[in-house]
Structure formats: C-alpha cells, structure tokens
Structure 1
Amino acid sequence: MSENIEHPIVFLSYARTNQEHIEKITNFASILRKDGIDVKFDEWDLKVGNDLYFFMENNIKRESDKVLLILTKEFVEKANDRKSGVGTETQLISKEVYDDVKQERIIPIVWECDEKGEDYIPTFLESRLYIDLSTKEKFGKNYETLLRILYNKPKNPKEDLGEMPKWLNDTNKYYPKTNEVVKRFNYSIQHHPNEINPIMEEFCEEYYEYLKTFTIEFSSNNINTISGELYKDLEEYQQLKNDFEEFIDILSKKGKYYGADYRILVEFLIKVHSLTFNRRDRKSMNTYDLYKFSFILKELFLYMIAYGLKNKNYNLITDLLHSPYYLTDENNQLKGTQHFVELDIRSQGDINGYIDNYYKENENTNYISPLGQLLISRLPISLNSEYLIDADLLCCYVSFLNKEEYKNEFWFPYTYVYKGRRWDSFEIFRRLTSKRYFEEVKEIFNVKTIDEFKSKVISTHDSLLGQRQIRLSNSWGKYVEPIEEYINLDEIGCEK
C-alpha cells in the first residue's frame, strides 16, 4: 500500500447503532469527500452479497491509507467485549496498534462523551492521542487538524535539516545575544505580537554593541595591507550580518501585520552613523575603521529597503526614506534634521578605492564598481540580487524626486551597473499602471496624487538624473536610467 497524497483513502470504522447515527456518519463522510478525502465505509461501498470480513480486512490492512475509528459508547462497549462487526474490526486494528507503537494509520476520533464529559476510549487505545469531534465547537476547532494529518500537511512543519553552524569551529565569531533574540523574535511575532517593538529595540541595541567591536589594527600603512585587512574584517563581520539578515527578513515579512514601529530602525541607523566619524569621546578607531563602518551602514540600510521590496512592506520603506534623521557630528552636536541621503557617506569613494585594489591584487579583476561588486557578492541566500539593485536605485530615484527637500543631495547607487537593460523588471515602477497599487506605494515617493508624482518626475528632467549624468567615472557611458525608462507617465493609474 502506497499513500495517496492527492486523495488519501480513508476507511471509517463505526458502530451501526441507529439510523440517526448512520446519517451523521454519512454526513461526516460527505464532508471529508468534499475536501478531497476518498472515504470508504459500508454504507457506500459494501454491496449485497459482498463478504463483510473481507471488506473490513481489505480496507484495514491493505487498501486504505488511514483508518478512522468513530468512538461512541456503543463502539467502545463492542470493541472491549469483541462483539459484532466492531469486535471483528477491533481485532484486526488492535493487532496493528499493539505490534507497532509508532503506527500512524489508526486515528481515534472521539464522537461522543458520557454524562460526566469523559471521552469514550476503548481499552486498547487508552494511551493513544486522538482527535475530538464530539461537539460542534470541537468539530470546528479540530477538523482542520484531522485534514492536515490525512494530507500530511502539518501546520508547523519540521524545518529541513541544515548544516553544522560554521561558528562552532570558531567561538570568537559567534554572537549569542543577537542570535538568541532573532530566535525569540521569530516565535514572539507569531504568539506574542505585542512584544514586537521591545524585542526590536533589544536586537538593535545588542547588534550595535557587537558592531562596535569590529576595529582593525594594521601592521603597516601599505595599500595592499590596508585593502586586505579591510576586506578580511568585513568577512569576519559576516556572521553577525547573518543575524541581521534573518531579523529584517522576519520583520519585513510579518511586522506589517502587527504594528511594528519602524522608527526603532531609524534610531538604530542613527547610532550606526555615529561610527562613521571620529568623535572626541572615542579615540580607539582609525580612519580605516570609519571607511568600513560607512560601508556597513550603507549595506544595512540597503538590506532594509531590499527586504521591504521583497516582502512588499511599503510602510517599512516609507518610514526609512522619509523619517527625520537626527544625526550628530564629531563633537556629538546635533546637525539638525537630516534625511536618508546622509547615510550614503561620500567617503565611500575611499573604500571603493581600497576594495578595487583588493580585487586587482587578489583576484586579478578590474570591476567597474568594486563597491557594487562587494555588495552583490555578500548577498544572503534569502535575497535576490534584483531586490538589492532595485533598492539601491529606488533610493537614488526618491532622492531626485525630493531634491529640493534634500538640498540637491542624492543617493549614489553603486550597484546600478548590474541592473542590465531589463526595464520591465523594476516591479515598483512597472506596476504603477494600477491605480490600487499606486495608492499602496505613493508614500514611498512622498506624493499624494498621480499628478503630483508625474510633476515630480518631470522636475527631474533638468537634473543630473534626467541628463543621464549619474554614472561611475569608468563606466564607459553606462549611466543610471531616468525614471521614464521604466514607466510611461500617461499609463500611471490607467488600470484598477
């Protein structure tokens, strides 16, 4: 007998007590059949002249994938006393139950209880788990559980067996606090959603504390040494980054349903930004640490936007792009209200040069965008490169659409050279033909109406973006495409 996954075959074993009971069992069988379960029982399948014992034995031992025992007072009494047809079926079933303590074919169904509310269970099944369908309320609650068992589709399936964590071989590169918070976060967001924001704060605090420990000591000021140490330090940061990737994936996927406060992430980014310059109260960091933290800041921000795109969490993206960033300077003085474009530190040009040197010296490769290559090469398995590239470009486009508010500062998308010429692949623009979709995403662009969006796009015509001047110096004519390469303005909102 091989299990039929598409239409499981189920045999019903019950006591024929009266016509009313038979009608209830028939109705139950009909409900199962409507849900794709191929039910076998005497009322439908036993014909005049058929051998009763063969019918029972064939279904219990061979033909059926599962056997449902409908437990009533009469069934239990006949089963315990081995009387009539139930007694015969019980002998066949009890042997299988006793011979294999791990068996999963025989499923007890409690159909009624006694006057004290106690379930009717035959002696040979007293130690077995069962499904209670004895009342309308319990039927509504437990019927799904029965279906999941019959189809082998558990509500909380066992995770696939993974590989041994790499950090077991190097305990210095394991970060138990953030790792533990991520595991707790995944559970709490489903079972205790009211705890989501405190756990977000806890994770961000622990992550920031770990992040500060990534300082570099150089043996020389040789450019090859500096390039190698920067690259190595970013590689060693990978394990901590894994925790962030898992955290932000869970948050962006489920947080939109549970009132997550994404300003917590904004505050976290402000703290990480403080690591990108030498403050007077922090003397231990050198110039190369600042380059490294500038890269990490950009990477963290892009991951947040990219996972927001992947999981269609547009509120997360909006809050990250349009919340005020109260940044400080090297004297720990407030710089006033700033915007996300300030997270794109222009000292990136320095680390871009060092990463370029690393690739040339160690891989003998000359990349158009070394920083873009580094960002793409470090992507987690759970994030397609298109989401990261689109996140990088989206930040650039939003900065130009709001160039007056951002004082003509813009975000430079170092990964743009990997986009290719697949204009239809930029989903957030391609789907703007839908009026309903525009309403979902309009706040990302900081507009209220389609006409306002069109007006902002047109205002970029005289900018560096509209003039196709946003490009890397060595990109040989490859530039960041204007927004209208992705969407015809006249088609925005023309569909439902």
Structure 2
Amino acid sequence: MSTVPDKVFISYSWSSPEHKAWVIELATNLERDGIEVILDDWDTTEGQDLNKFMEKMVNDSDIKRVLVISDKIYAEKADGRYGGVGTETTIASIEVYKDSDQSKFIALIAEVDDNGNAYLPTYLKGKKYIDMSSPQNFEEGYRKLIRNLYHKPENPRPERGTAPKWLMHDEKKNLSNSSTHLNILKKIADSRPNKLDNAFNQFLSAFLNDYKSYSTRFESNTELDRIAFECFESMIELRDIYVEGIETYFNYADEIKVKYIINLLEDIYPLIYTRDETQSSFFESQFDHMKLFVMEIILYTVAVLIEYERYKELETLLKNHYFVIDRSSREIHGPVCIFQFHPDTLSNYMRRQNEWISPIGELLTKRTTIPKYSNAQIIQADLLIYVLLYFYNLSDEYFQWDLYMGPYIRENTVPFFRKLRKKSHFNDVQELFGVENATQMSEKMNALIEYTNKNYRNHSRSGIHRLAAVLVPNEINKY
C-alpha cells in the first residue's frame, strides 16, 4: 500500500448543522487514517475570499482528489449556480470535462430520494460514486474511499503476463491438413469404400504432420510446467480429429488393417522429440506434452476398438512388438509400453493445483470432451491394456503399463470386465484373452491380482486394491 495517499479537498453545502457535523466527522476520520484533508472550516479564516479559496483548491495541482459531498441541497445549489456551491460548480464542471482520466472528482452520496436515487449535480451524473447515505452504507463506502485514496482497489487488475507459448504456433496449427483429409476420408467411406485404405493412410500422414507442429521451443525452464500444460491443452482438437478418423475407418472398413495404426505409432515416436534445428540446447521436459499425447491416443484407440467390438484387432495392436528410433537415433523395441512415458513436468503442474493421487490421471479425465467416450471408457481402456499385457506375458520389471487411471477404477467405470460374468460376453472376448475356458481365465485373473498387489507401488492409494472387485475372477462365465 502506498504510504503517500492522495491529498483531498472536501466540497460540501452547509445544508444543516447536522450535515456539517457529518462532514467534519468524515474529514476527521480521513485525517486519522493518514489522508491530508483541506476543509474550509479548518483552512480558512475570517476575511478570506472564499470564492478564491475554492477556485484555488479545485485548480491546485497538489489536490489530487476533490470529494463532493452531495445531498439534495448541494445538488440544487450546484445546478442553480447558487452560493458558494454554485461558484465551485462553475469551476469544477469545467475541470471535470478537462480531466482526462475522469477520476479527480469523487461524489460521496450523503442523501438519496424516496426512490433510493442519489442526489447528484448534473455535471456528475453518469459518473461512478460512493454511497454513504446510511449508516450501513457509510462503513462500506468509507472503506472504498480509503482504498481509492491509497490506490489499493479491492479487486486490483492482475499482473499482465505474456502470450501462451502455444499461441505463437497458431498459424501452423490450424489443423486444416488433418481436417481436410478427415472430410475426404468420410466422403470416401460413404461413396467409394474400396478407396478407404488409401484415404485412411493419407489422413494418418496429415495427422502426423499436424502433430509435429506442436513442438515447442523453450528458451529457459522458467514456468516450464505451465507452458507444457498449455501446449497439451491446445492439442485437444487434434486428438478429437484423430478419434473421428479412426472411428470412420473402423466403422466402414470391411477388413481393418491394424498395421496402419502400428505404423502410425512407430512413425510418431521420433516426432515426439521435434525441436528447432537452431536450438543448441533443450530441456527434456519440453517434450512432455508430445509424450503424453501419444499415450492418450493409444487409450482412445483402445476405447474405439472396444466400442466397435474389434477384439481381434485390439489383440494384434497390443501383442505387436514395436521398433522405434529415439532422439539419439538409437533403436528401441518392445511392447506398447514403450509409448508410455512419465511426464514429470505435467505432473508437477497438476500437483500445484491439488495433491492428486494420480496427477496425470486427473489431467486425462478432465480432457474427456468427446461425448461418446466418457471418463469410464478411458479408465476401462487403461485397465484393459494393463490386464491384457499381463495375459500376453508382456509385463515384467522392464516393461509394464502403469495405471495412471487407477484411482478412478470403480465397478461402474469398467463394464467390460463386469460383463465377463455373462456367458455371451465371455464367449465374445475369450480369444482376446487367449484362454481356453472360464477356469483358466479365473486362474489368470487371480494370478494378476496377486502379482499387482505384490509389485504395484502404492497400490493402496492408486485404486489397484479394487481389482478383485472389478475383475470378478470367481464369477467369470457364471450367468
């Protein structure tokens, strides 16, 4: 708070002894609160020309605020240019219109009419005032006045920052490339299904190009977590275009070639580390939004395959052994787990908002903006990947799918597993799990629960302890 508040002059009408006492009390309170007040009763003597005094106070550059105490009599005298108030008004009204920031003259309302309307001189009508016309309003009004004179508003303007980093890329990220090829894909799906594979591959190529454009240059690690979050949030539209594209293909293709999705994932891996060639150094965290986006599209791909009951294709996707090139041009290979990273920068940002058990899980659930694919379906996809990789013997100390959505696992969020109690559903997905019968399925489910409880870190807080309830290992194929 400023230690040098504005110096003020009080303009008022001698409406009555009571009103004058009210004004003097106000002036006294202001003085006690550190405000230098010029008041005729204190600062003039007998024989002094009051008109010249008033003119000087209104025009004095040291007087930063003129407090106009307005009641019915003041308003009438001001508009009629009567008496000392009239003289002040003649001077003040000129100054009001000359005052570029319109803040020197502050009307303090001491009286209102029967309808609650403030008595104001014409030259001040339409300007913001402070209502002090009743004991209730006086206290609140006085606090507003003090804040005004000390330049300490109750709702200060926030400090203006800089434009979000992702905004600087808007021109190249208008997604017209992906959107155009998505529209072509949908038209071909309706009219020329024999051309669908080619159109889908062109769509995926356009998607990769648009994905690459989200790479961000970081000059320093200042607020890196916030910038990474903003970049990740800006990718929602691209994700939605991807989901609509694979939905179209899965829905219309006579034979889904999963190799197209496999190729996409292998091609997208090196693009994660896209950076400006002129950037001599970089931060590993500057790629976190690119990394998490890849994991997110895997979750949505699995959710779409479940929705369309494409279980054979889902099995192929998850059993595939992937070969990718990292940012150091080294070959990495392994199961789909190689696409799951631990984006610490985004985790740190979410933890600053709240102590989430799974910051990344919370971030992903907040992004489920596609009505057809709810939180439950993404949670279910996450759990299904975890379970199937265990069934396929692809989970070990080196490769394991971490359940970021674990804390959100409930019986009502994983209907795919709850329905395993139904014989019809079990028969539909039996081949997906690679089991010969329900007994073998139950044995493997129980083994998975035991393995998880033993090996999963912090499982008591992650939601993994609910696996036995949601996987119903002893009720499979029961009904």
Secondary structure of 2:263 counterpart:
helix
Structure 1 residue aligned with 2:40: none
**Deviations 1:190-222 (Å, cap 9, x if unpaired)?**
332222221221111111112112222234322
Taking the aligned partners of 1:344 and 1:483, their CA distance within structure 2 comes to 21
Q: In the TM superposition, what is the alpha-carbon distance from 1:339 to its structure 2 partner? A: 0.9
* Counterpart position of 1:327: 324
The answer as to 2:263 corresponding to 1:267 is yes
Letter in 2 for 1:455: E
Q: Distance in 1 between matches of 2:171 and 2:217?
A: 21
1:353 maps to amino acid: S
- Encode CA deviations 1:336-365: one digit per residue, 9 max, x unaligned: 4x21122112x33x23433325xx2xxx43
1:430-449: per-residue Cα shift (whole Å, max 9, x none)? 22233332232234324344
Please say if residues 173 and 239 of structure 1, whose CA atoms lie closer than 8 Å, have aligned partners that are also in contact: no
TM-score scaled by length of structure 1:
0.56
Contact 1:403/1:410 (<8 A) preserved: no
Aligned match for 1:479, one of 449, 458, 463: 463
- Residue deviations 1:222-253 (CA, integer Å, cap 9, x gap): 2xx10121112122223322311221333344
Q: CA deviation at 1:268?
A: 0.4
Task: State the 1:266 CA deviation.
Answer: 1.0
Corresponding residue to 2:435 among 447, 464, 468: 447
- Kept in 1, the 8 Å contact 2:408–2:463? The answer is no
Q: Are 1:456 and 2:444 an aligned pair?
A: yes
Aligned to 1:489: 473
Task: Report what 2:425 is aligned to.
Answer: 437
* Normalised TM-score (structure 2): 0.57
CA contact (8 A) 1:429 1:486 kept: yes
Aligned residue in 1 for 2:149: none
* 1-structure distance, mates of 2:383, 2:206: 30
Instruction: Show the counterpart of 2:220.
Output: 220
Structure with max Cα Rg: 2
Q: In structure 1, what is the Cα distance between the partners aligned to 2:199 and 2:402?
A: 32
- 2:355 paired residue number: 366
How many matched pairs? 309
Query: Aligned partners of 1:448, 1:188: CA distance in 2, in Å?
Result: 40
Q: Counterpart in 1 of 2:127?
A: none
Counterpart for residue 184 of structure 1: 184
| Equivalent residue, structure 2, for 1:201 | 201
Confirm or deny: 8 A CA contact 2:382 2:403 kept in the other structure: yes
Partners in 2 of 1:232 and 1:460 — Cα distance? 37
1:297 and 2:294 matched: yes
Shift of 1:411: 0.7
Residues of 2 paired with 1:291 and 1:282: CA distance? Answer: 20
User: In the TM superposition, what are the counterparts of 1:138-177 in structure 2 within 5 Å?
Assistant: 172-177=172-177
Change (3 A) 1:351 1:249: farther
Alignment partner, residue 66 of structure 2? none
Paired with 1:317 and 1:438, the residues of 2 have a C-alpha distance of 16
Aligned residue among 409, 414, 417 for 2:404:
414
Aligned to 1:341: 337
Identity of aligned residues (%): 18
Q: Distance in 1 between matches of 2:279 and 2:267?
A: 17
Q: Is the 8 A contact 1:470 1:479 kept in 2?
A: no
Unaligned runs of 5+ in 2: 1-166
Structure 1: 5+ residue runs without aligned partners? Answer: 1-166
Residue 406 of structure 1 and its aligned partner are, at CA, apart by 5.2
SS of 1:335 mapped into structure 2: strand
Residue of structure 1 equivalent to 2:236: 238
Look up the match of 2:86: none
The 1-side partners of 2:471 and 2:239 are apart by 35
The CA deviation string for residues 24-49 of structure 1, in whole angstroms up to 9 with x for no partner, is xxxxxxxxxxxxxxxxxxxxxxxxxx
Distance 1:232 1:246 in 2: 23
Aligned counterparts, 1:362-401, within 5 A? 364-382=353-371, 383-401=373-391
Q: Distance in 1 between matches of 2:257 and 2:179?
A: 21
**1:479 and 1:327, CA in 2 relative to 1: closer, same or farther beyond 3 A?**
same
Q: 1:466–1:482: 8 Å Cα contact kept in structure 2?
A: no
Match of 2:246 in 1: 248
**RMSD, matched Cα:** 3.1
Amino acid at match of 2:232: L
The 2-side partners of 1:436 and 1:371 are apart by 35
One-letter amino acid of the counterpart of residue 318, structure 2: L
